[in-house]
Amino acid sequence: MNNINDFCSSRANQAFGTLSPGSWAFGSGSAKLSRAQMAMLPRLKPRTFYDLVVQVAIVRPGPIQGDMVHPYLRRREGKEDVVYPTPELEAVLGKTLGVPLFQESAMRVAMVCAGFTGGEADQLRKSMATFKFTGGVSKFKDKLVSGMVKNGYTPEFAEKTFSQLEGFGSYGFPESHAASFALIAYASNYIKCHYPEAFCAALINSQPMGFYAPAQIVGDARAHGVKVRPVCINRSRWDCTLERIGNTDRHAVRLGFRRVKGLAAADAARIVAARMMSGFESVDDMWRRSGVPIAALVQLAKADAFRPSLKLERRDALWAIKALRDKPLPLFPAAAEREMATIAEQNEPEVALRQMTEGHNVIEDYGHTGLTLRQHPIAFLRKDLAARNIITCAQAMNARDGRSVYTAGLVLVRQKPGSAKGVMFITIEDETGPANIVVWPTLFEKRRRIVLGSSMMAINGRIQREGEVVHLVAQQLFDLTTDLSGLADRDVEFKMSAGRGDEFAHGSGPDPRDTPRPVPRPKEMYEPDRRIETLKVKSRNFQ
């Protein structure tokens, strides 16, 4: 099969996803969005709730193996006449244009057209419900075909009908099950459309789940107008919450402490309880009032949680925490005040720390919260990529059908469905959005290490477009993971368009690196943790 869109529309994966490939939705209750479902949606064009039920059921191994998908689509698009040999068959399959898409349809066809009893039809249903590729449906062939011929159907039609039903032995949906999925999908998309902030927060709070990591959920939400605010010691709770934007009816998503790697829920609860009367004014104030261990403060500092309200950069916060290590926790607040006064009298010189570059901050964001509200990592590499004739993902996905393109991005998702006959589906992303990559089995075997091991990948391939569905069929693959290793040394070279900026300011005022440095202390006191030198993006693999 040469066209990947036909291939995708005839291959199934795990769960129903979004109402349209261009909309912001991450799926049904399981938040799984398969490439096959994305390719099917523009062709099926759901208009009613029952269309969603069909959408859920049609991209399954059963209908695919039974050659039901393309006949249904052709009939729905008016490219093929819908013919019912008998009124009885029309009564059974009228809603699905003569194609038995559901297990119940197969049972009714067997009873109405082939004379099966209720018990025999139930045995047929059970054989279709095993999903073990055991060929259990085949034992009903003689009775089904002979029964249909006896009732006036042609042998060819009877054989075709059986081949369709036989596909259900490879996993087909009951109509009731498909309707339940469709209801969840409809409700999810309604919430996303009308309450996108709540939908975004709920998805993050439900992690880990589905194909998409929090970085992609947040990035796409922001691209669709949702304001997302960083983790903050004075405003965050454990879960992501909603905060009213000024005096408007709109809300922003405040990232919760759950995004801070290594922070215990119990410590987060102590922080929230301690600030009930008033917010924290300093690192020392937070430490004394909350009583959380130093290790918890370090994790918060690494996650940049002191910056939104205390205006402390990562290194400044870590420096302040260093000063707490040798200080005993006083029994009374007055003792704390005397101790602070004593320290001030000692006139200890301030240390002007060299602040992290924007690139290093992005690496730290990903390392300690799994996402960033700063520039997308690829934005820092764009000048270098452009010099190598690598275009953006948006340019690639907007290219005309058949055009050869060369693009690159972070690897987000790898999908290799069992029914895809060895085809690997990859989703990459740069600062302009995602791109859908298809790797045929021959290329996959030749470049297995790159396909499975790259954090950043470049793809040279050809665009295949069918309506809104666009894929880049890979012809060559290159591992660009090493390009990420120099990200820590890069500052912002240009500003991206609205929707990718931070929710808090950076870079204002003089560069701290231009400030004369005092007599240095031991290196470990002010140098950052350099263990996270390369951006690490955890892709989600489904094989």
Question: How many H-runs (helices) and E-runs (strands) does the chain carry?
Answer: 24, 9
Half-sphere exposure (Cβ direction) of 417: Cα atoms closer than 13 Å: 22
Q: State pTM to two decimals.
A: 0.74
Coil, helix or strand at residue 424: strand
Cβ neighbours of 145 (radius 10 Å): 18
Q: Which helix (H) or strand (E) holds 151?
A: none
| CA–CA gap between residue 369 and residue 214 (Å, rounded) | 9
pLDDT in tens for each of the 543 residues of the chain? Answer: 444 334 333 332 322 233 333 333 333 333 345 667 777 888 888 899 999 999 888 877 666 665 678 888 888 888 888 888 888 888 888 988 888 888 788 888 888 888 888 888 888 877 765 555 455 677 788 888 888 888 888 888 888 888 777 766 556 678 888 999 999 989 998 999 999 999 999 999 998 887 788 998 999 899 899 999 999 999 999 999 999 999 999 999 999 999 999 999 999 999 999 999 899 999 999 999 999 999 999 999 999 999 999 999 999 999 899 888 645 555 555 455 555 545 544 445 566 777 878 888 888 999 899 999 999 999 999 999 999 999 999 999 999 999 999 999 999 888 877 656 788 889 999 999 889 999 999 999 999 999 998 999 999 999 998 777 889 999 999 999 988 887 877 764 433 332 222 223 333 333 333 333 333 333 333 344 444 456 666 666 655
Residue 95 DSSP class: G
Burial of 371 (0-12, 13-18, 19+ CB in 10 A): buried
Query: Is residue 43 within 8 Å of residue 73, measured between CB atoms?
Result: yes
Q: List CB contacts of 153: < 8 A, sequence separation 6 or more.
A: 85, 86, 113, 161
Query: Is residue 307 within 8 Å of residue 313, measured between CB atoms?
Result: yes
Delineate the domains of the chain, giving CATH numbers in brackets.
4-178 (no CATH), 195-312+314-345 (1.10.150), 377-489 (2.40.50.140)
Alpha helices in 323-377 (DSSP H): 333-345, 358-369
